[in-house]
Every structure is written in structure tokens, then in C-alpha cells.
Amino acid sequence: METFELVHHPTTPPLGVTGLCARILAFEPRWLTLRWRVEGAGRIVLPPFAGKVRADGLWQTTCFELFMRPQHRDEYVEFNFSPSQAWAAYDFCGYREGMVERAMPRPPVCTPRRGQSVLIFDVALPTAALPALPFVYGLTAVIEEEGGHKSYWAMAHREDRPDFHHESCFASRLEAPHQP
């Protein structure tokens, strides 16, 4: 699967983060596995451990996100994953409209690993929670650094302000695997 170099929105430059990439590691019958890698992560603020709980407002600090929309449809899904292991999942019927909690067969598994200057964040998401293929998707991140400074990272951005729900952030497509 392709690795995407996420870019910060020009209105929210990072302090110490020098790069952020994200990718789908594996798409198997039961799990979709994702990875984000943050370079220059020495000043990143990580929320305290919360365990595998559903929680709102995760985007208010360091949070990794996946947006998915069935191709040629208005409705979409937002998944939020925190290094605290808390998570959230929402359905929308249109652009920022009709938000409701998405039913999940089981919680995603969130695994942060932090080194001196690198943060690797892996997520295993049950495939039963995903919309039907083919879909377009966006991998995004909110990064909080010391002092409350936040930068907003995505595969692509709208011009005027960070907005992960905007059409521009659904920058890649995933098809059903081809059978031999």
C-alpha cells in the first residue's frame, strides 16, 4: 500500500515536527491496519492512558484520524484514534451533517511507540466497521506540541483553513482486492 507524506496546513506550522507519513499497512478479511510515523516528535504532547474506551473530543490534543466515504456518495465515516488508546467513530449523512456514533463490532487496537524523536502509531480497525468498497479516504492527524501549539496534517487540505471533513481531504481510493 502507498505511503502518504502528510502536509501541515499552512496556517498551522509545527514547532518541532519535521515530517509525518501515514499508510494502510494491511487490509485483511478481519482487520484494517494503519500506521502514522511522526518525525521530530520530541515536543509532542501525548494524552494520558485512558484504555480502550469510546470518547469524544479526541481531536483537541494529539489524535490520528481516518475519514472514509463510499465512492460517489455524500455520507462518510470519521474514526479518531488517540495515543491514550481512546477512540471514536461517527457517521455523517453529508458534509458535517447528521453526526451520530457509528456502531462498532469491537474497539480498535491503538498502539503508540515513542522514541527520542520518532512517534509510531499503529491502529488495527475491525473491517466490519468499514463502509462498503470501493471508498475514498483520508489519513489525517492533529499534533499538539508543548505549550498547547497544534498543527493539522492531511494528505491534502482546503486552502483557507484546516478542515478534515472537506472533500479535498478524501485524497485516495481503495478498491476491493482482485481475485485471481
User: Would you say 89 and 70 are in contact if contact means Cβ atoms under 8 Å apart?
Assistant: no
The average confidence (pLDDT) of the chain is 94
* pLDDT per position as a tens digit, 108-148: 999 999 998 999 999 999 999 999 888 999 999 999 999 99
**pLDDT band (50, 70, 90) for residue 177:** low
Output the pLDDT for position 142.
98
User: Would you say 58 and 82 are in contact if contact means Cβ atoms under 8 Å apart?
Assistant: yes
Residue spans of the domains in the chain: they are 3-31+51-61+75-174
Q: Can you list the positions of beta strands (E) in the chain?
A: 3-8, 19-27, 31-39, 63-70, 76-81, 87-92, 100-101, 109-114, 118-126, 135-145, 149-154, 172-174
Question: Does the pLDDT at position 178 exceed 60?
Answer: no
Q: Mean per-residue pLDDT for 31-43?
A: 97
Question: Does the pLDDT at position 44 exceed 80?
Answer: yes
Q: Mean per-residue pLDDT for 25-51?
A: 95
Q: Which of 114, 61, 55 is nearest to 85 (CA)?
A: 55
Q: Mean per-residue pLDDT for 48-76?
A: 96
Report the alpha-carbon distance of residue 87 to residue 109 in Å, rounded: 9
Q: Mean per-residue pLDDT for 65-72?
A: 94
Question: Does the pLDDT at position 40 exceed 90?
Answer: yes
Model's pTM, two decimal places? 0.94
Q: Mean per-residue pLDDT for 5-10?
A: 97
Question: Does the pLDDT at position 2 exceed 90?
Answer: no
Question: Does the pLDDT at position 176 exceed 70?
Answer: no
Report the alpha-carbon distance of residue 64 to residue 1 in Å, rounded: 18
Q: Choose the weakest-confidence range: 26-40, 116-130, 163-177.
A: 163-177
Output the pLDDT for position 175.
77
